[in-house]
């Protein structure tokens, strides 16, 4: 039997019976031969190049991202809180988190809304917040909501005119240990000489929390072990801070 190897465009092996011409040293005719089909050299080069290109591309984009579009899982809005002056602007940004762990800016893909247009408006697809030129009862507070598909998140924007002054009035400056204490904060804003009650809006600062642990919307409880101790309290809003008030416990 004679074996011959041929180059062809396919990986399969096939058999055939051929008639061989009599050679000088052969005495029989009609001998069987087996012919093997081998992949062509050019075909091997093309296949190798294609595989190498596919492997390189999969490394660049990641196999999962290459074959499947990631699915949005949640969105966040930054900054989560913001403070601007009347007629001022602040840019909100929405960031999407996907099921493959990646994140992407989805600000322009999101729909934006404001809870109070008298305080500030927001671009429907831009996230740009613009404060009203005047605030009837400063400070103005509005909630900004971003929505992308089934997912939403919010941020709070405070519109603060310039504060001329803040004053604090406590119910007493000499409370008994363990007693209830209240504070009222009033502010005067530029362009409006009338005092505004901002007790619920100010940030309270206590110098000695062993005397007054905390103040919420002006309400506080004096510590039962604070006899003979004292503390100062201040209120801050829109960049303005009140003079300190001293509280001395009986």
The 10s digit of each residue's pLDDT in 79-128 is: 999 989 999 999 999 999 999 999 999 999 999 999 999 999 999 999 99
Mean confidence (pLDDT) of the chain: 83
In this predicted structure, the answer to whether residue 39 has a pLDDT above a threshold of 80 is: no
For the whole model, what pTM was predicted?
0.58
Domain boundaries 163-248, CATH class: mainly beta
Boundaries of CATH 2.60.40.1080 in the chain?
72-159
| Tens digits of residue pLDDT in 133-174 | 988 878 899 999 999 999 999 999 999 888 999 999 999 999
In CATH, what number does 72-159 get?
2.60.40.1080
Which helix or strand (DSSP H or E) is residue 241 part of? strand 240-241
Range 102-121 burial, b when 16+ CB lie within 10 A, else e: eeeebbebbebbbeeeebbb
Q: Which residue has the higher pLDDT, 155 or 6?
A: 155
């Amino acid at each position: 039997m004679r074996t011959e190897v041929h180059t062809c465009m396919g990986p399969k092996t096939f058999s055939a019976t051929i008639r061989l011409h009599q050679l000088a040293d052969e005495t029989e005719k009609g001998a069987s031969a087996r012919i093997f089909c081998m992949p062509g050299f050019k075909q091997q080069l093309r296949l190798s190049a294609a595989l190498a290109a596919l492997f390189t591309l999969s490394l660049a984009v990641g196999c999962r991202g290459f074959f499947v579009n990631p699915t949005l899982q949640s969105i966040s809005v930054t900054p989560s809180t913001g403070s601007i002056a009347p007629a001022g602007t602040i840019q909100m940004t929405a960031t999407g988190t996907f099921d493959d762990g990646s994140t992407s800016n989805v600000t322009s893909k999101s729909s934006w809304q404001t809870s109070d247009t008298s305080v500030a408006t927001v671009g429907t697809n831009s996230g740009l917040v613009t404060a009203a030129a005047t605030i009837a009862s400063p400070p103005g507070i509005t909630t900004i909501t971003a929505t992308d598909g089934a997912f939403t998140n919010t941020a709070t924007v405070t519109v603060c005119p310039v504060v001329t002054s803040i004053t604090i009035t406590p119910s007493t400056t000499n409370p008994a240990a363990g007693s209830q204490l209240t504070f009222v904060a009033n502010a005067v804003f530029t362009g409006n000489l009338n005092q505004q009650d901002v007790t619920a809006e100010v940030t309270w600062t206590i110098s000695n929390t062993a005397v007054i642990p905390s103040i919420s919307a002006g309400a506080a409880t004096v510590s039962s072990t604070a006899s003979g101790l004292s503390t100062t309290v201040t209120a801050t809003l829109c960049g303005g801070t009140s003079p300190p008030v001293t509280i001395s416990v009986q």
